Chain A
Amino acid sequence: MALLETLNLSKSFGGLQAIDNVSLRVDENSVHGLIGPNGSGKSTFFNLLTGVYQPDIGSHISFNNIDITNKPAHYIASQGLARTFQLLRLYGELSVLENVLVGYHPHTKYGPLAPLIMGAEVRRQDKLVKEEMMDLLEFIGLAEHAEIPAAELSGGQRRLLALGRAIAMKPKMLLLDEPGAGLSPVNVDNLMATILTLKERYNLTIVVVEHILKVVMATCDTISVLDHGQKISEGSPTFVKNDPAVVEAYLGREMADEDIRAAMNS
């Protein structure tokens, strides 16, 4: 069953067609990879799905059988679609615990005015939620840093926190925008292992944008390839790896470089 489905999704910025008629299905409980060269529209695609950008007329996005085209970002989030950002966008001055508490926001049981009129109930709720969030931090290995501001974490810890903040939303689907950017190969492997454990533990469907092809090939069930805003290929990792269109668009230049190098050496 498709959890997320886009139909003729398009987005242009002035004259630039960033996303061009992309139709995509993501099956429930799968890990779906999204790859493509820089500027091929991967991040824009995520921004369209999560309501950060509004798509062009004629586009259609449905999530969990609900039409979320042109819905505001907070509504889409409350339906169970969470994401991380390439540049993380953590709440730097808030503590690690507060960051995940903000992630929990869609599930808050009291209204925004409750702190003024029923303080005791608000404190009781918050205490329960804090315990739950501490469990989550324990799981991703940030519990001992719970009180320090997010800005003071190391690069790797920040990536974990970004992940934790998205998990705190208790999503059905998680969109990961380059989760491994800037990490060493060992750390990337650890991070992917963590992501897969989180997927099992919280029963998630994952869409991941990643440049490190080794990681994508190893973890994804299905891969879609974008180039210049268009979907040029889709299928299993083996299929995509051997698709001539992908090789030309994505790996083509590297192969060509090798040909030149080989020619020069001979």
Chain B
Amino acid sequence: MIILSKLTDIFEYLAKRHRLLPWLLAYVLLLPLPFVLAGLFNEYLIDLVNRICLFILLAVGLNIVKGFCGQVTVGHIGLYAIGAVTSAVLSLEPGGFGGALGFGWPVWLAIPTAVLVTAFAGLIIGLPSVRLQGAYLALATLGLGESVRIFIAVTPALGSSTGLMMIPAPSVGSFTLDSFTSYYYIVMTAALFGIYFSFSILRSATGRAFQAIREDTTAAAVNGINVIKYKLLAFVFSAVYAGLAGALFAHMPPGYLHHNNFTVIEMVTLLLMVVLGGIGNVWGGVIGAIVVAIAYDQTKDLVFYFMDRPIVIQPLVFGLSMVLLVMFMPRGIGGWIEDFQRNRRFIRRSEERLNGSTRNT
């Protein structure tokens, strides 16, 4: 706790000097991570970190629509799929393997196009939110999200059951970013920018409008907030995050996509990240993404044998932990963070008051 407090002190001091300094420090500290991991453990861990970065993007994006704006969406993974497949298909060479579509676009053009396409898809997934709320909205978005996956699964042009293979990696000049380590710098930068922009939104009139809609939609409308516009905007913002995460996932080594990457189980995992992180708290979502992604990775091959029959228990564990979390830790890790920040504010204010009174005497 004391270490955490000191660390917060350092970051707050830097933030006072210049707003971007803490972000710069975080970036610099994260630069040597793949070499540390490769040195201490193995290459595989870098791949895990890369996937964690993508999950952070997804969780932070989902947090905008679900946490800030209070719209329960379960179709987020469908947007992720749209981003991934769009970017893959655009960048694949024409006449590729297994009848897959290909346009042969440069990767750096395919990614932003995929993000735009996903943003538009986010607008469509958000449309039910104009009329529906809560569980009904969740059902509608679940249907839309899952239909994306099924569409991919039955369309040979988009990979169908074999998946899309040999998706090209991005390159800078003549250097191709096709190793875990080189790709780390792309996804890590994207994740940091994602977190930063999420804060920019939260701390503006846009973020306050989202939160007002979450807290009381009628009051928000009467306060002059165009509820429909801002709801859809929240969906589009989160879709941009999902689209970027998806596109980066497509080009990540080994450059292979399969519709199994976009199942309801993935969606539950993503929801678990946001719920564990504490709905509406950005850093909570980031920590949730890290914890759940590691847990997911470690329990993936967890198989029990019952009367010599293998039983994969991971989906059960994740579903059950979601129920327990909502029951016993409804505010998630974000609740702890908020308590921590409030205590600090309280202590600082009492100190100021104490100092003020001694100066007066």
Contacts and interface: CB of A to CB of B under 8 A. Distances in A.
Interface of A: 50-52, 72-74, 77-78, 82-83, 85, 89-94, 98, 101-106, 108, 110, 112-116, 119, 122, 126, 147, 165, 169
B211 interface: yes
Nearest to A171: B224
B242 interface: no
Interface string B23-52: 000000000000000000000000000000
A102 B230 CA distance: 13
Interface string B210-226: 01100110111111111
A83 B222 contact: yes
Contacts, number: 100
Contacts of A110: 204-205
B212 A115 contact: no
Contact of B208 (A90, A102, A116): A102
B227 A74 contact: yes
B113 interface: no
A125 to B, nearest CB: 8
Contacts of B205: 101, 104-105, 108, 110, 112, 122, 126
19 contacts: A50-B222, A52-B221, A72-B226, A73-B218, A74-B223, A77-B223, A89-B218, A90-B219, A94-B208, A94-B212, A98-B211, A102-B208, A102-B211, A103-B223, A112-B229, A112-B233, A114-B206, A115-B204, A119-B200
Contact of B226 (A74, A93, A101, A104): A74
A77 B216 contact: no
B56 interface: no
Given A51-B222, A110-B204, A116-B200, 15 more contacts: A52-B221, A73-B222, A77-B221, A77-B223, A82-B222, A91-B211, A91-B215, A92-B215, A93-B211, A93-B215, A101-B208, A110-B205, A112-B205, A115-B201, A115-B204
Interface residues of B, number: 29
Nearest to B202: A115
A85 B211 contact: no
In the complex, which of the residues A77, A91, A122 has the most CB atoms of chain B within 10 Å of its own CB atom?
A: A91
Would you list the 4 A-B pairs with minimal beta carbon distance, nearest first? A106-B224, A77-B224, A115-B204, A73-B221
Contact of B204 (A50, A92, A93, A122): A122
B336 interface: no
B136 interface: no
Contacts of A101: 205, 208
A207 to B, nearest CB: 14
Contacts of A119: 200
A108 B212 CA distance: 15
Contacts of B227: 74
Contacts of B344: none
Nearest to A46: B222
Contacts of A85: 219, 222
A208 B299 CA distance: 62
Given A91-B216, A91-B219, A93-B211, A169 B224 contact: yes
A226 to B, nearest CB: 21
